[in-house]
């Protein structure tokens, strides 16, 4: 096992979260942010999103790439040393957040809106992400949902065979994945939590935001990379529009 980095020594919440992440592919930490601090970001995001439509991506939800530039509290989440320490330990190399995404989901009658789209893996290889809810979040208002230990097929051999599920794929329509999920029971984990709850996950596991049926959901997500993965031109193209052009994070060692 990778040794615990110095940023986690003495931080038992972070050390426990790393252990959960290594075992299950995700970890949940309530009260990572104070409720008041998390909830205070909602009106700030509303004002920003509604005043800067040209720098917000509208894909069902409203997505602000580079939200660290609109609030010091969001910048602090982006640069959180404990999260960088967990990321490094899990990934086996130094990791920095290139940007923080803030997103706002609102239930719209007759429309299936969810954060991040259909059930998917972000990619096939291990990838660390950290997400924090800024509003109380339950299933009906779009909770993040993940299939425990779904990086590899071994725990799911029977369900895969019984439903002919295309497990190695990276994205599925609901009707393709639902028979498989229906066989899994509590391996499919909807993550409900109060405003301020942190969710760490390996985005190569099968996951989705659940479709929002009522109310709203606000969240922040840090996008971590190793130094040699960051191609600023490609990232600018992929995550657009952004609040400001992305800049290379400060890594302690050259790639
Ligand atoms: O915000 C969510 O609930 C999930 C979004 C997602 O798919 C991701 O961050 O990779
Ligand atoms: Fe995703």
Say if residue 227 is exposed, middle or buried (CB neighbours under 10 Å; 0-12, 13-18, 19+).
middle
Q: What is the CA radius of gyration of the chain?
A: 18
Q: Where do the H-state alpha helices sit in 25-173?
A: 35-51, 72-78, 81-91, 157-163
Task: Report the nearest atom of ligand 1 relative to the CA of 120.
Answer: 7
pLDDT at 253: 65
The CA 10 to ligand 2 mean position distance, Å, reads 31
**Could you tell me if the CB of 222 is within 6 A of ligand 1?**
no
Q: Which domains does the chain carry?
A: 18-151+190-238 (2.60.120.620)
Report pTM. Answer: 0.95
Q: Where are the beta strands (DSSP E) in the chain?
A: 26-29, 57-59, 61-65, 96-106, 128-133, 144-147, 188-191, 198-202, 207-209, 216-225
Nearest ligand to the C-alpha atom of residue 190? 1
Per-residue pLDDT of the chain (255 residues), as tens digits, is 556 666 787 889 999 999 999 999 999 999 999 999 999 999 999 999 999 999 999 988 999 999 999 999 999 999 999 999 999 999 999 999 999 999 999 999 888 888 888 999 999 999 999 999 999 999 999 999 999 999 999 999 999 999 999 999 999 999 999 999 999 999 999 999 999 999 999 999 999 999 999 999 999 999 999 999 999 999 999 999 999 999 999 999 654
């Amino acid at each position: 096992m990778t040794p615990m980095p110095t940023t986690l020594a003495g931080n038992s919440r972070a050390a426990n979260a790393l252990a959960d992440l290594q075992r299950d592919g995700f970890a949940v930490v309530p009260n990572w942010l104070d409720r008041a601090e998390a909830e205070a970001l909602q009106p700030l995001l509303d004002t920003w999103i509604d005043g800067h439509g040209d720098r917000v991506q509208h894909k069902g939800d409203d997505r602000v790439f580079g939200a660290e530039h609109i609030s010091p509290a969001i910048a602090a989440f982006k640069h959180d040393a404990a999260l960088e320490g967990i990321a490094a330990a899990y990934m086996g190399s130094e990791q920095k957040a290139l940007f923080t995404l803030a997103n706002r989901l609102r239930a719209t009658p007759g429309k299936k809106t969810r954060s991040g789209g259909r059930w998917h893996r972000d990619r096939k290889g291990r990838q660390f992400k950290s997400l924090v809810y800024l509003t109380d979040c339950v299933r009906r208002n779009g909770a993040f949902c993940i299939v425990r230990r779904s990086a590899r097929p071994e725990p799911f051999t029977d369900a895969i065979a019984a439903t002919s599920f295309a497990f190695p794929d990276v994205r599925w329509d609901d009707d393709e994945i639902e028979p498989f999920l229906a066989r899994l029971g509590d391996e499919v984990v909807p993550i409900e939590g109060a405003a301020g709850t942190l969710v760490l996950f390996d985005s190569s596991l099968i996951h989705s935001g659940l479709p929002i049926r009522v109310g709203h959901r606000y969240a922040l997500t840090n996008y971590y990379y190793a130094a040699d993965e960051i191609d600023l031109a490609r990232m600018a193209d992929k995550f657009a529009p952004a609040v400001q052009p992305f800049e290379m994070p400060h890594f302690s060692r050259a790639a």
